C-alpha cells in the first residue's frame, strides 16, 4: 500500500491558514455567525483537501486507487488493461499519478500526500507487475 500523511502536506497547512484567517477576520461579527462562517469554511476546505488524499494498493493483478475521506472513490485497474503509468506534476493538483489504459482513457489521481520517492517507487513496482503479466 502506498499511502502518505494527510496532515503533513502543503494543502493541509494552506487550508488551516485559510480557516485561521476566517476566524480572525470575523472578530466583529456575532459569535453564532462567526461559528457558522468558520464551520462552513472548514467543511469546504476539507472537501478540497480530500481530492488529493488518494492512496494506492498494488496486488498481483490490479492497481487500486482509493481516497482516505471520499470512501466511495474506489477505482480498480487490471494491469493487462494499462498501457502506461506516469508521474505528473500538475499546476493545480500538485503531484499525481496518470494512468493510461489500452482503450485510450486517461485518469489522473492527485497524490499530494505521497512523497515523490514513494510515488516513483509505486510507478516502478507497477511497471514491474505489468511486465510480469
> How do residues 65-113 score in pLDDT, each as one tens digit?
888 777 787 899 998 898 988 888 765 657 788 899 999 999 988 877 7
Q: How far is CA 79 from the centre of its chain?
A: 21
Q: Do 95 and 114 contact (CB within 8 A), yes or no?
A: yes
pLDDT for position 66: 87
Which residue reads 514491474 in cell numbers?
128
Host domain of residue 127 = 1-133
Q: What average pLDDT is seen over the chain?
A: 77
Q: Which residue has the cell 475521506?
A: 69
Who contacts 42 (Cβ-Cβ below 8 Å, separation ≥6)?
19
Count of CB atoms situated within 10 Å of the CB of 39: 12
Q: Report the C-alpha gap between 49 and 5 in whole angstroms.
A: 12
Torsion of CA 117, 133, 99, 47, to 10 degrees: -70
Given a cut of 80, is residue 38 above it in pLDDT? no
CATH code, domain with 104:
2.30.29.30
Q: Is the pLDDT of residue 124 over 70?
A: yes
Domain count, the chain: 1
Lowest mean pLDDT among 13-17, 98-102, 119-123, 125-129: 13-17
Residue pair 52/9 in contact (Cβ under 8 Å)? The answer is: yes
Amino acid at each position: 500500500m502506498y499511502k502518505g500523511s494527510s496532515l503533513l502536506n502543503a494543502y493541509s497547512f494552506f487550508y488551516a491558514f485559510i480557516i485561521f484567517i476566517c476566524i480572525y477576520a470575523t472578530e466583529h461579527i456575532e459569535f453564532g455567525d462567526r461559528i457558522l462562517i468558520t464551520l462552513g469554511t472548514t467543511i469546504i476546505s476539507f472537501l478540497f483537501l480530500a481530492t488529493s488524499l488518494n492512496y494506492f494498493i498494488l496486488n498481483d493483478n490490479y492497481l487500486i486507487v482509493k481516497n482516505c475521506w471520499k470512501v466511495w472513490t474506489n477505482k480498480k485497474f487490471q494491469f493487462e488493461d494499462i498501457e502506461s503509468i506516469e508521474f505528473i506534476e500538475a499546476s493545480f493538483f500538485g503531484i499525481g499519478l496518470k494512468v493510461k489504459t489500452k482503450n485510450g482513457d486517461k485518469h489522473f489521481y492527485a497524490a499530494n500526500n505521497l512523497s515523490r520517492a514513494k510515488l516513483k517507487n509505486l510507478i516502478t513496482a507497477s511497471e514491474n507487475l505489468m511486465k510480469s503479466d
